Structure 1
Amino acid sequence: MSAAHVTLNLLAALFTAVAAVTYLIGHPYPRAQMEMKRLPLTWMPRLGAVLAAGSAGLLAGFAVPLLGILASFGLVLYFAGAFVAHLRVGSRKLTGWAAFFVTMVATLAVNVVHGLS
């Protein structure tokens, strides 16, 4: 297990866990994001649950590498969907999205390399 593998998985798990909590408690920031993207607020708990599952999957990947690969792939898809939601409404404020997406793509890459070795 390399330092990059451990660091990226822990960082990605932390990012997604914090995001999950903000969605699950109905924090004003994700609520405003949902409204800006014209998405139903009823989706907030579901999106939070997906993020929480992704975070748990990344941590479980330390024990079962395939779970880490699948979780990181799922999170890459989640943030690809977030990108589409931004573009759909013409939002160009993508700094936060880019930080999450780049982290998830890097995590997927190290998980695949670790899983194949």
Structure 2
Amino acid sequence: MFAAYITVTVLAALFTGSAAVTYLIGHEYPKTQADMKRIPRSWVPVLGSLLAAGTLGLVAGFAVPWLGIVASAGLVLYFVGALVAHLRVGSRNLVGWAVFFTTEVAALVVTLLYR
């Protein structure tokens, strides 16, 4: 179980960390996505900060277990919100969302099972 916990958590941290960097460096892709979902561009750095905080929480969860649980749960909620944003504008391009969401749910499940 320990190997699954480490593997899934590191994978989730890599995914969300790379997304956070993309949002925070001002890359065009998050801005385009925000426009498509009718979200103000001023929210892009805030969303990136939430992803970065979740990533740090996942990694910190190795030392402080409750922090990893809270971070995993927060990221699951983040991606539920992302789904709502997609569906609100009629977007059916959910492959990227599904990869992130599934990874975060898996991180939450293995964290709960391991701890």
Q: Structure 1-normalised TM-score? A: 0.96
1:76-111 Cα shifts (integer Å, max 9, x gaps): 000000000000000000000000000000000011
Q: 2-side partners of 1:64 and 1:112: how far apart?
A: 13
Q: 2-side partners of 1:90 and 1:26: how far apart?
A: 25
> Residue in 1 aligned with 2:30?
30
Deviation for aligned residue 1:114: 1.4
1:31-83 Cα shifts (integer Å, max 9, x gaps): 11100000000001100000000000000000011111000000000000000
Indicate if the aligned counterparts of 1:65 and 1:114 stay in contact, CA closer than 8 A: no
Equivalent AA in structure 2 for residue 20 of structure 1: A
Q: 2-side partners of 1:64 and 1:22: how far apart?
A: 27
Deviation for aligned residue 1:28: 1.0
> Residue in 2 aligned with 1:100?
100
Q: Structure 2-normalised TM-score? A: 0.98
Indicate if the aligned counterparts of 1:13 and 1:59 stay in contact, CA closer than 8 A: yes
Which stretches in structure 1 are left out of the alignment for 5+ residues? none
SS at match of 1:72: helix
> Residue in 1 aligned with 2:70?
70
Which stretches in structure 2 are left out of the alignment for 5+ residues? none
> When the two structures are aligned, how many residues end up with a matched partner?
115
Deviation for aligned residue 1:2: 1.0
Aligned-pair identity in percent equals 65
> Residue in 1 aligned with 2:40?
40
Q: 1-side partners of 2:54 and 2:13: how far apart?
A: 7
CA RMSD of aligned residues (A): 0.8
Deviation for aligned residue 1:26: 1.2
